[in-house]
Structure 1
Amino acid sequence: MPKLIKLYITQVLIGFAISAAFVAALLSFNVANMWHLVTHSDIGWLAVLILWLANGVVFSGVQFAITIMRMAGKDDDDHGGKRDDIPLRVLEPIRVESTDRS
């Protein structure tokens, strides 16, 4: 299996684990009376499942993006091209007459 695929799967698993902890914290702290709503409803488990999946997708994407961005190396070389001074004659203003009289 390619290294990038292994990295992606690892980050997705970490993201869904973070999502599980987040949903557990939401329920345990009873944010917006969520514990009562989930436990006193017939399909409360579905709400928890959708909340976990939706947050898992978000947290996985963020986890993968952070990992990829941290892989970038710092370039000490100057790859920006030639940086010569701009001659002053290039920056002289030019008078332009307007022909529109409205």
Structure 2
Amino acid sequence: MTYFKIGDYVKCKQFGPLEHDFTGEVEKVYDNSVLVAIREFEPADQSGVNELNNRAVLRKSETEIIKAVPRTEEDEELAAEEEKAAAAKAAKANKSSRKKKSEKSDDK
């Protein structure tokens, strides 16, 4: 998972009222998503951008950093911790799904 920071410039996939991909600036970072201020978009999407008030909340997995703001050592440590936590969470989810599958097969 990519480590996002406020001020990063990102490319986003189209969604909802928007028919084309767009770019914007990260305004807030959540656990699994980011709030993006829409900066550049296709003219055909003007009404959709207005409807969204020039902002969109997007999954981190559906955004790509184009230009990152400078990172400090502390930022890099946080990114490493975030990746480690995400990996542990994924491993735990995988383990519990295997357990559920084996319980279902035991019931048959």
When normalised by structure 2's length, the TM-score is 0.35
More strand by share: 2
More helix by share: 1
Q: Which has the larger radius of gyration?
A: 1
